[in-house]
Amino acid sequence: MKKRVFSILLATIILVSIAACTGGTSDTAGQNTGNTDTGTSNTSSPSPGTSSPATSSPSPSDTGAASPDTPSGGFVQGITDTEVLIANSLPISGPWAVTGVPTKAGLEAYIRMINEGGGIDGRLIRYIHQDDEADPMKGKPITQSFINDDKVFAIVESFGTAVVGAIIDDLREVGIPTVYFGTGIGQLYAENAKTNAEGRNTFPVQPIYTTEGQVMVARGAGDFKATKIGIIYTNDDAGKDMLLGAEKKCQELGINYKSEQVAVNAPDVSAAITSIKSFDPDFIVCAAIQATMPTIVKELASQGLSVPVITSYVNASGAMAEAVASDITGRFDLYASGWLDYSTDERWANLELYQEWVEEEYRFNSYAQCGWIAGYFFCEGLRRLVGKEVTWDSFIDAMEQAPITIPFGGTIDYSNGKRMGTPALAMFRVNMELNDGFNWELAAPLESIDEILAKV
């Protein structure tokens, strides 16, 4: 089982972050390019992890629609005694269908499990969807229509950097609960969000680059006892957000650091590497995603650096390992973060539950698992309100009430306005001897920053 767990894990750590970048492959199988409405059903036996219908204290009926320009969440729409309406837009056609189709399938699988178990507090979940093709010019009006015309209760699983960047201000202005974002952009990061304008109504799950930057520095300090850290970052949002987190943690820990910027897709990064080399670091953070990462790593090797290098979970793919393997072998180890792990009995049981409900073709699909996770997080908020009044405010309060554990990962604490995504990350190392198609081996398990720094 360990081999199987490892292979699935490595496939998963690549996941949604791909949607934050350009390029991709087309996958039109199972597409539905129109507005889809996932119907609800009801059976007598609740499924594992669901709440049975309450009989003693029914929740109120729909109290009317919210005004789209109202900044407060102190009202409700999209919910009745028998139904909760949620929505999202995903790329179901075009080059990003490879991400959107399975994501939608995973969310639908979780909703199906809940509904066939009787719903939550007597309410079934109805899910509507439109195809945005990962285009912000489509995603923005679609989301506005969900809120203003369909009057949904929540947005669940907003996907992709471009679309999320286009709609995040609208979501905050309206105050609608929004659970899970398929991107790590820094706009989602908040340490103490007190108002919706600051992001209190939003609940990121997967790693935010700002948080990941902090974790990477923590790895340097905790796992490698680093006291001087070099940071090479790209001049895009991903690189700058990772830099922000890395600098913050270096300053907190009193670590001496030096940062150098390179352009995205720059063919020559030698000047930046020469500057980092002159600093004589004992650990290097490569805050760059996809195409630029191999260029940086290759130049580090070319200039004779031999200290450990860590990069983003976005880069933990077989192709990335192969791109740099010949350059780093015998010189230094390349590490990357990861945010899901099936190595415990509980997480493995959660994976098996997911596989029972999702379509067979998505049993090992990382994007589908993200959809499942998004459904789980949203429903956890509803489960905490069984027998209570459900409004936007009460839902947000419920999400902050206690930490929520990712079915296949760490725990996220939203209390006191913390909106930092998962702070628990594993660490992987390139190993070309694995011959399993991924070529990354687990070097350290899922650990929080505090757990990592306890090694110092």
DSSP result, 97-160: HHHHHHHHHHHHHHHHHHHHTT-BTTBEEEEEEEE-TT-HHHHHHHHHHIIIII--SEEEEEE-
Give the model's pLDDT for residue 323: 93
Q: Worst-scoring range by mean pLDDT, 36-45, 203-212, 280-289, 344-353?
A: 36-45
* pLDDT of 138 higher than 60: yes
Q: How far is CA 412 from the centre of its chain?
A: 12
pLDDT band at 120 (very low <50, low <70, confident <90, very high): very high
Greater confidence (133 vs 3) lies with 133
Helix or strand run (H / E) with residue 444: strand 440-447
CA distance 376 to 336: 27
As a whole number of Å, the end-to-end CA separation of the chain is: 33
pLDDT tens for each residue of 264-278:
999 999 999 999 999
pLDDT band at 436 (very low <50, low <70, confident <90, very high): low
pLDDT band at 58 (very low <50, low <70, confident <90, very high): very low
* pLDDT of 140 higher than 50: yes
Give the model's pLDDT for residue 406: 96
- Token pair listed for 188: 């989602």
The rounded mean pLDDT for the chain is 86
**Which among 190, 196, 149 has a CA at the least distance from the CA of 170?**
196
Q: Are 230 and 284 in contact (CB under 8 A)?
A: yes
CA distance 30 to 114: 23
* pLDDT of 2 higher than 90: no
Please name the amino acid found at residue 33. T
Binning the chain into helix, strand and coil, the percentages to the nearest 5 are 40, 20, 40
Work out the average pLDDT over 345-366. 94
**Which among 82, 67, 85 has a CA at the least distance from the CA of 173?**
67
Work out the average pLDDT over 419-438. 87
CA distance 140 to 186: 19
| Residue 149 neighbours by CB under 8 Å, 6+ apart | none
Give the model's pLDDT for residue 402: 97
Q: Worst-scoring range by mean pLDDT, 36-40, 73-77, 193-197, 243-247?
A: 36-40
The full DSSP string for 257-268 is: EEEEEE-TT-S-
Give the model's pLDDT for residue 386: 97
Give the model's pLDDT for residue 290: 78
Domains of the chain, each with CATH number or no CATH:
2-206+343-417 (3.40.50.2300), 209-338+425-453 (3.40.50.2300)
pLDDT band at 318 (very low <50, low <70, confident <90, very high): confident
